[in-house]
Structure 1
């Protein structure tokens, strides 16, 4: 087995990949580099993390990394990503696209740019307010779907749940959740879903990595 190295701090988006690796139960090394460090820039000209090294192979983007890992280590544990070509894989890709574009890029990242990092990108309260509402609207849609399919987004736990829970946790940190914008009948669905995912052993091990000092 080629060496697996994940570069980036578990305090940010690389947490998604730490959790995934813990679910897969494969050996890996975490190098908690911060964005734009010399090591990061040497492998990713954007200066962003996470970066995965699997032997001589290097890739970026947290969602893509998790899909790759599930395919590369298929058979180690119950499937975390459905097989390519299946309808369930299509549903998985749909969920991932929704979470990354609608929750992360159009929601949480707007807050980070125009609130948390407003000194660099400018303070635009209206944009943040609209992003928060868009985030909650999308969460309502996903929760309604979750209520129909069972305990997890695809019925069984998958890498899509890792992405969603990370976004929901992030929203909690910035006080977007809990929110009155979450439909009242869906609030118990959200609470029970988070409790279920947070109790997973792999999640707890990933949290321990997040709490570790750089």
Structure 2
């Protein structure tokens, strides 16, 4: 019998990334929707993620948190979905997934919060500057159809989610290369299905509030 797969999330969170990845795998899973100031901070969930944040998954006895880690884990756990990298793709796959989890998120979050790295201190910041990050990402998404090459992988779920949200919320510069990339990676059945599920869940939460 396959290990049970449980997904802890809130549809108004980064859990949307993990939802998309779960839908891409085609694996059966159950969803537990948590409240930001209620069930996420309850002892039962803190035992799963002491940060008291979503998303998280429990696959049998294995617990995984952090969106990039969830995407990478699920790609390996369900190889038939074809979302893990080949030997040739592995370098770019991990390079850009970790770039998005590190420099990209840090640079865009700091900018959104009004923090700008002084030019003479840029070497202290892991991302250098916001401009460096945007230019680097533009080159990455322009080099090939998908972030690791000519084929969609789990890295596109993670990187594509960041780019899509950045364009939607104004934390990314509006560049054609970004829009083209998001269009490619989100025009997928699993992506559309995941959005529909979370949009419906969001509407239900808002009605019950």
TM-score of the two chains, using structure 1 as the length reference:
0.77
SS in structure 2 of the partner of residue 59 of structure 1: strand
Spell out, residue by residue over 1:27-54, the C-alpha distance to the aligned partner (whole angstroms, 9 max, x if none): 1112121343314223111212211111
The aligned residue for residue 118 of structure 1 is: none
The aligned residue for residue 207 of structure 1 is: 195
User: What is the Cα deviation at residue 81 of structure 1?
Assistant: 1.7
The aligned residue for residue 70 of structure 1 is: 75
CA distance in 2, matches of 1:87, 1:73: 19
Number of residue-to-residue matches in the alignment = 190
Structure 2 counterpart of 1:81, from 76, 80, 84:
84
CA distance in 2, matches of 1:111, 1:189: 21
Q: 1:128 to 1:159 in 2, by over 3 A?
A: farther
CA distance in 2, matches of 1:70, 1:23: 9
Counterparts of 1:132-211 in structure 2, within 5 Å, are: 134-149=129-144, 151-154=145-148, 155-179=150-174, 187-211=175-199
User: What is the Cα deviation at residue 135 of structure 1?
Assistant: 4.2
Spell out, residue by residue over 1:38-79, the C-alpha distance to the aligned partner (whole angstroms, 9 max, x if none): 14223111212211111122121111111111111102x2x2
SS in structure 2 of the partner of residue 43 of structure 1: coil
TM-score of the two chains, using structure 2 as the length reference:
0.79
User: What is the Cα deviation at residue 24 of structure 1?
Assistant: 1.0
The aligned residue for residue 55 of structure 2 is: 50
CA distance in 2, matches of 1:158, 1:45: 29
Aligned Cα RMSD in Å?
Answer: 2.6
Give 5+ residue unaligned stretches, structure 1: 116-124, 180-186
